[in-house]
Structure 1
Amino acid sequence: MSKKVYNTAPLPFMGQKRKFIKSFKDALHNYPPDGIYVDLFGGSGLLAHTAKQHYPNATVVYNDFDNYRKRINAIPETNNLLEKLRMLISEWPKDKRITGVTRENVLKAIKRHEDQYNYVDYITLSSSLLFSMKYVLNYEDLVKSTLYNCIRMSDYKAEGYLNGLDIVSLDYKVLFEQYKDSDKVVFLIDPPYLQTTSVTYKNYWNLTDYLDVLSVLEGHRYFYFTSNKSSIIELCEWVGNRTLTTNPFAHATKLEVNTSVNYNSSYTDIMLFK
């Protein structure tokens, strides 16, 4: 039986790199099949999954700092909850605001589920009940939100998604120290974007954090992801031109894709590799 290859993360995750997957695969041909690929900011694990599927003999380290595994392990319970919600809003118009008794019943069902399992994957649930690209992390914030009938009609599945990965949960600096001296290492670097929504991330990132990450690039092979909102590329070009410090992105290949947040907001995602 052939292994399932995921071109998108099996559960919703803000900032997953699905639009770059084809370009990422194409670029991987220039990197060692038996290399060590370290996904410093693992996120949804999509980059790590793709690297492992592309090079089965490579060592691929997935830094699951956001505990995406917990959400994957809870998929059976999440599917069960979504089935109950589908029944509650089966007569409700698609994409319309949920109000009145139906809204109360939806919230009650979610609270009962949380009381029973002591957990609800609110990020996944948000994609079925909130306006596009809006997320909550707890019941209290969900109660304050406007609910919509945008519920997913099929079950979530993630069979084999994390197979073969070396999974850790570490500060990226600690993980970098473990592998920085290996001549076979390729770092996958997708930090939380500066000046973009980061409600689903554990920690708030500021400019200092962003600049600290750049020290990882020097002297190493890497894939680095950012957006045009961060202006980090322009900053590094300025540093390289105006000071004696080397621009870490000098001679790197750059690819761009446009990403829509909603009907009137968008930005450009950027992948650089070297």
Structure 2
Amino acid sequence: MMQKYYSKAPLPFVGQKRNFIKHFVSVLDNIPGDGEGWTIVDVFGGSGLLAHVAKRVKPAARVIYNDYDDYASRVRAIPDINRLRHIIQGHLAGYSKNQRISDSTKQAIIADIERFDGYKCHVVLSSWLLFSGRQVEDWQKLYKAEWYAKLPINDYLVADDYLDGLEITRQSYTDLIPLFDSNPKALLLLDPPYLSTAQAAYAQVNRFGLVDFLKLVSLTRPPYLFFSSTRSEFVDYVDTMLSMRLDNWQSFDNTKRVSIRAYVNKDASYEDNLIYKF
């Protein structure tokens, strides 16, 4: 029986696939029953939402969450994150939503952040203080940026059960994927950082660039789910692979596709894609 699952990650994470969840659950129907005998590998784990949902939908499957960004630490630290939110909110009395934060208020907040004795994460704070989904790699860049009052109104709910049942690892996709090459019942969940898009929220030292993308394509074999968007030209590349019979084109032949429209704002949108093959 399908268990209840979170429809979005418990803490902010750019690129989580919450808008794809109902489609993701439908695709998982290709795995029979409760998933007994199957392994599901969330190769680019991100917020862990895909791994979490997979474990709830197919509870007997072995589900591996490659937590390269150490999101699990953030989830465990939600009480500290809520406590810091209250401290920062105390500085923003009188500010309206999305109002620019003055330099003097900003410096007072930075002082409290530096004094804070619990867990703190610049990625979470970026979602509270930076405008229009902007991302930064570290505290230094966060402190230098212009801030806006975007704190959530309510505390985050404690999510102690979010990672229940998952095997958590932290390794390169080039090391992880080959471990399952000989297992036809190992489903790869592939949601890499998109090419030609901002990647500052990810923990990797280097950007996920063209060479990484080509390595991933060469390692991909069914069964898999591969997420991408029109901003990274992935679908066009797959079409080119097939027409030119490029390396590993067979793995992308006769795939199925789900597309949804994603909106940056009311005037700008793009297409998110899920390509899958069993």
Q: TM-score, normalised by structure 2?
A: 0.90
Q: 1:158-169 counterparts in 2 under 5 A?
A: 158-169=159-170
CA contact (8 A) 1:237 1:247 kept: no
Structure-2 change in CA distance of 1:167 and 1:21 (3 Å): same
Q: CA deviation at 1:264?
A: 4.2
- 1:172 is aligned to 2:162: no
Q: What letter is aligned with 2:23? A: S
Structure 1 unaligned residues grouped into runs of 5+: none
CA contact (8 A) 2:46 2:67 kept: yes
Q: Deviations over 1:156-211 (max 9, x none)?
A: 23221100001111111211122221121111111110111101111311112101
1:102 is aligned to 105
Secondary structure of residue in 2 paired with 1:260 = strand
Secondary structure of residue in 2 paired with 1:229 = helix
2:233 is aligned to 231
CA contact (8 A) 1:128 1:149 kept: yes
Q: 1:168-207 counterparts in 2 under 5 A?
A: 168-201=169-202, 202=204, 203-207=206-210
> Which one is further off, 11-20 or 245-254?
245-254
Secondary structure of residue in 1 paired with 2:227 = strand
1:241 is aligned to 243
> Which one is further off, 255-264 or 93-102?
255-264
- 1:255 is aligned to 2:258: yes
Structure-2 change in CA distance of 1:4 and 1:149 (3 Å): farther
Q: TM-score, normalised by structure 1?
A: 0.92
Q: CA deviation at 1:4?
A: 5.4
2:88 is aligned to 85
> Which one is further off, 94-103 or 240-249?
240-249
Q: 1:55 aligns with which of 54, 58, 78?
A: 58
CA contact (8 A) 1:4 1:160 kept: no
- 1:18 is aligned to 2:18: yes
CA contact (8 A) 2:75 2:160 kept: no
Q: Distance in 2 between matches of 1:243 and 1:58?
A: 34
Q: What letter is aligned with 1:16? A: Q
> Which one is further off, 59-68 or 153-162?
153-162
- 1:127 is aligned to 2:130: no
CA contact (8 A) 2:189 2:224 kept: yes
Secondary structure of residue in 2 paired with 1:162 = coil
Q: CA deviation at 1:70?
A: 1.8
Q: CA deviation at 1:65?
A: 1.0
Q: 1:144-163 counterparts in 2 under 5 A?
A: 144-156=144-156, 157-163=158-164
- 1:71 is aligned to 2:71: no
Q: What letter is aligned with 2:88? A: L
Q: How many residues align?
A: 269
Q: 1:136-147 counterparts in 2 under 5 A?
A: 136-147=136-147
Structure 2 unaligned residues grouped into runs of 5+: none
CA contact (8 A) 1:239 1:247 kept: no
Q: What letter is aligned with 2:236? A: E
Secondary structure of residue in 2 paired with 1:132 = coil
- 1:210 is aligned to 2:204: no
Q: What letter is aligned with 1:168? A: T
